[in-house]
Amino acid sequence: MVGNHSGLIKFYIEGFPGSPEFRYTLFAIFFFSFFVTLMGNVVIIVIVCADRRLHSPMYFFLGHLSILDILITYTIIPPMLAGLLMSEVLSMSFSACVTQLFLYLSFGTVELVLLGTMAVDRYVAVCNPLRYNIIMNNQVCLWVVILAWVFGFLFEIWPVYATFQLSFCRSTLVSHFYCERGLLLKLSCDDTLFLEFILFLMAVFVLFGSLLPTVISYTYIISTILKIPSASGRRKAFSTCASHFIYVVIGYGTCLFLYVKPKQTEAVEYNKTVSLLILVVTPFLTPFIFTLRNDKVKEVLRDGMKRYCHLFHGKPFAKDISMAIVYILDFWSKLVPHRNRQVVILLSLGKFKAKLVGMFFLGI
């Protein structure tokens, strides 16, 4: 029997077993996704901080959401990538496993609280626009964010502590790509039925506690939008919360499937698939959801590229690259409303001409 002696336990993360070619292919896919997630969210954070047009509560919360996406992916993805390059399973110390699980759950809890807060922010903006600056003032937004971070970390202390107080007698091989709580419970030789029930209730409290204000807010938002007489007015009102609504559907949908189930130890492959959606796909899509669907962010990006072009005026290579990016943003913004269309992008960068041909299925 392996007790809960932290100095003796090592967990072995199975990751994605298969041939080297299979693992290297997954490494390339996940590394590309991780890089795009990192760069895209960094761009969002920079423009939110640098441009005064984005100094509003909505973009203040969006900046923190981007920080959380970076932190969540950085907690899980680099060890997963290291495991894909290794010929053997990835070993992880007891303290490293505790730290990874605690940070992942804490960041995720903070993100759920912020999503609920952003829904209330959109409700005030659409339903009470004249009082928006009074209700959602800087002090309120700052305290909401501080409380969200504090709550997220404090709330996950006991669940993680209780999980690692168990004795692991069967094995320390985790059939996942990170220290997943359900599988750790499965490895324990203790009776975990009561603990699983408590964890289920806590997951319900967090998810539905943040989902309830989101549902109520969007009920009032949709009701208010439908009362607007002009089609252009309805479209403009809905565009202010479309990005958040799409992110809510993706984020809450995957979390509900993964965490809100009484039996935490079942369906290993199912958990792994849904975890990939949460940790790889959703953060990868976040920068596109909040930029391509947001006219103000696209305007800020275009103006930034134009200023960059003006700054390097007279330097052909930098100018050509900057203008190419501006044209791509313009072209892409016109393309987004259309679905399932083949896109052929022809870039001309000075004397170097490159043809990038791709098919994009735009369902955002």
- Are 62 and 41 in contact, with CB atoms under 8 Å apart? no
DSSP 10: E
Q: Which of 268, 213, 244, 225 is nearest to 59 (CA)?
A: 244
- Does residue 48 register a pLDDT over 80? yes
Residue 154 has pLDDT above 90, yes or no: yes
Contact status, residue 68 vs residue 111, Cβ threshold 8 Å: yes
DSSP notation for 203-247: HHHHHHHHHHHHHHHHHHHHHHHHT-SSHHHHHHHHHTTHHHHHH
Is the separation of the CB atoms in 247 and 286 below 8 Å? yes
Query: Worst-scoring range by mean pLDDT, 30-34, 134-138, 183-187?
Result: 183-187
Lowest mean pLDDT among 59-63, 71-75, 90-94, 352-356: 352-356
pLDDT digits (tens, 9 = 90+) for 228-262: 888 887 887 777 777 888 888 888 877 776 665 55
Q: What is the mean pLDDT of residues 257-279?
A: 68
Tokens of 193: 């039925």
Pick the range with the lowest mean pLDDT from 10-14, 91-95, 298-302. 298-302
Q: Can you give the pLDDT at residue 3? A: 52
For the cut 80, the answer to whether the pLDDT of residue 359 exceeds it is no
* CA contacts within 13 A on the Cβ side of 317: 1
pLDDT classification of 346: cutoffs 50, 70, 90 = very low
Which tokens belong to 82? 């290291």
Supply the angle between the helices 282-292 and 57-85 in degrees, to the nearest 10.
Answer: 150
In angstroms, rounded to a whole number, what is the distance separating the alpha carbons of residues 194 and 100? 24
301 pLDDT above the threshold of 70: yes
Contacts of 46 (CB under 8 A, 6+ apart): none
pLDDT in tens, 330-341: 554 554 444 333
pLDDT in tens, 75-86: 999 999 988 888
CA distance 299 to 297: 5
Which of these, 50, 94, 45, 41, lies nearest to 69 by C-alpha position?
41
Residue 348 confidence (pLDDT):
36
Please determine, for residue 265, whether its predicted confidence score (pLDDT) is greater than 50.
no
Please count the helices (runs of H) and the strands (runs of E) in the chain. 14, 5
Alpha-carbon torsion, ordered 126, 132, 135, 138, to 10 deg = 120
